[in-house]
Amino acid sequence: MKFSTVSWVSAAFMAGTATADNASLFMQNILAYAAIGTVFDMPVVMTTSAETGPNGPLPQEILDMYPNAPLIKREGEVNAWDSAEFRDAIRAANKSQIILGGIVTEVCTSFLARSLRAEGYSVWANLEASGTTTKEIRDIANAALLHAGVSVTSLFAIIGDLMRDWRATPGSVELLPYLNQYMPAYGMVARAHRAAIENGTLIPGQELLPR
């Protein structure tokens, strides 16, 4: 069973990241990432670094998803693993596989991921929910993570790895509403398919398209 840990800083900092084409898309990415814990009923640990300063708190939308989850407000530790409270929260979850995302990729994500690997954990880093200031820094940071044995992957790959089978629970029943909300391109395909099945007709020309 995998385990999700969430680590981000303020929305103001998000605006300076280069993970996504724009800050709005990046915000969507991190909310989509955070929400997988609710779909798959995974334990979640959230953490911030010096949130009373310019780093700021986690987005309220994420806090609202997990009102009872541990929120470790690190006073100054840059690497979350240097916080005894954070280490205790991770160990209390009793999981050996951890999914994480953070800002910035080369610090919050990389430092924690490498520390977790050194402790024997299997680690998945969500590249879409981590961000930094330039593409070059992002690419170097992700290469270093791969070299350390971290699986750097996309949110959709993480979802597929967690679900394994559309017939499972959670499966299509739980995932299709999630995908409709957070991955609208997939959601619109599913909605169009439903409409076509319910309507039972094709417009002229559709019969010429390959299956």
Any idea what DSSP says for residue 106? I
Q: Which residues contact 49 (CB under 8 A, 6 or more apart)?
A: 9, 55, 74, 76, 77, 78, 80, 108
Q: Are 133 and 160 in contact (CB under 8 A)?
A: no
Any idea what DSSP says for residue 170? S
Nearest to 85, CA basis, from 75, 95, 94: 75
Is 108 part of the annotated catalytic residue set? yes
* End-to-end CA, the chain: 37
Peptide bond into 104 cis (omega under 30): yes
Helix axes 184-199, 172-182, angle to 10 degrees: 120
Of 6, 89, 99, 108, which one is the catalytic site residue? Answer: 108
Task: Compute the distance between CA of residue 97 and CA of residue 120 in angstroms, rounded to an integer.
Answer: 9
Task: Compute the distance between CA of residue 119 and CA of residue 41 in angstroms, rounded to an integer.
Answer: 24
Catalytic residue list:
108
